[in-house]
Every structure is written in C-alpha cells, then in structure tokens.
Amino acid sequence: MAQLNRRAVGDEAEQLVVEHLEREGYVVRDRNVLCRRGELDVVAEKGGVLVFVEVRMRATDTWGDPAMTVMGAKQRKVVLAAHEYCQRHRLFARVIRFDVASVIGRGRSGQVELITDAFEAGM
C-alpha cells in the first residue's frame, strides 16, 4: 500500500513538472519510459534540444533540495537510459541535455524549480 501511495505522489510531482515545462514552451515527448538500465521520468524538446528531465520531490525542504539526491550513480543510470532512448527512436546526432526538476510540496501547491544542464553525459 505504501508503494502505491509513493507512486501516486511521484505521479503528482511529474504532472506538475510537465505542466511547468509546457508553460515554458517545451514539447513533452514521453513520460516514465522504461529502459533496460533505468527509467526516464520526462523526455521533452525545446529549440531543437532533446531534454531528459529527472524529477525529484519532497513534501518540505526540511531535508534540503531534492535535486541534490541526483548524484553519480543515478546520473549514470539516466545517461545510459537516455542513450538507449535515442537509439530506440533513431534520434542520432541530436543535441541533448540533462535537467533536474525539483518539486517541494504536494499536490497543486507544489513548487517546481527546473535546474537546466544539471549534469553532463560524461561518466
């Protein structure tokens, strides 16, 4: 039951991020893409750049910025999944970027902060 609630909270956060991205002129291509090496939360495009957005959420900022939880191992998983996504969809020679969306709060009152170019593909 707790896992189901956790997923619902994550889905709420991702929806807030998608709405934020769309307001900022991004076109959302995919959500929750499962790959052999991990999952991609949101895949979007803007200005010819393919953007892979990792979504992190916390109910409050008591424990700090949730974006700070996207460190080495998680970054590598996202990069590998992004490469697999590009191969699967034949998106060769595309400019790509890795962003992190930090959501603090739950539901409609959650605050979204988008950290563009949060990390690089170099592993």
pLDDT 10s digits, 37-78: 889 999 999 999 999 999 987 655 545 554 555 567 788 999
Q: What is the mean pLDDT of the chain?
A: 84
**What residues make up the domain containing 43?**
2-119
Percent of the chain topping pLDDT 90: 53
Q: Considering only CA atoms, which of 64, 49, 62 is closest in space to residue 102?
A: 64
Confirm whether pTM is higher than 0.75.
Answer: yes
Q: What burial class does residue 70 get, using C-beta atoms within 10 Å of its C-beta: 0-12 exposed, 13-18 middle, 19+ buried? A: buried
CATH of the domain at 39: 3.40.1350.10
Average pLDDT over residues 4-9: 66
- H-helix segments, 1-123: 2-23, 72-88
Pseudo-torsion of CA 103, 63, 37, 80, nearest 10°?
Answer: 70
Considering its fold, how many domains does the chain have in total?
1
